[in-house]
Amino acid sequence: MQQLWAPWRIEYIQNIRKKKEKGCIFCLYPKRKDQSKVLILAQTPLSFVILNKFPYSNGHLMVVPKRHVSQLEELSSEEGLDLFLVKQKVVEILRKVFKPEGFNLGMNVGKAAGAGIEKHLHTHIVPRWFGDTNFMPILTHSKVISEGLDKTYKKLSPYFKK
């Protein structure tokens, strides 16, 4: 039997049993003093960029409007434009840092669509490479993420400070 070494998963396992944080994390996290602890890379007045704590691949980021809305049509024109411009910048940075061969950008709007946090709209930006899918999801229902979140945050952070 081969072992899959993923020491960062223990936090997820332990947090399942812990009491959940009261309130919406997408509303609470941008107000926190230590942005690196909550994996926020950048903020505009209307949105922010955060690493996905449980990524599909290395460099999986989310762009989130600061205002608590659950539906795309609830965004103002200014919020929608800001969200789009931030997504463009995120893709540009991810191209420089990770050199992906493609991207998946998407929103899961509502529980039926697969939204993990259904009450606060957010966009996923997932870098993709040829061959980044393999037998692991099929045989073990697991994905292999080859870089820890702290390292990814440190790698991306300087690009978002410019």
122 in catalytic set: yes
Could you say which of 68, 120, 122, 141 is catalytic? 122
Whats the size of the chain, residue-wise? 162
- Take residue 72 and report the two structure tokens written for it: 């795309």
- Tell me which residue of 93, 37, 33 sits closest to 63, measured CA to CA: 93
109 vs 74: CA distance, rounded Å: 12
DSSP character string of 86-111: HHHHHHHHHHHHH--SEEEEE---SG
Enumerate the β-bridge partners of residue 43.
48
Name the residues annotated as catalytic.
Answer: 122
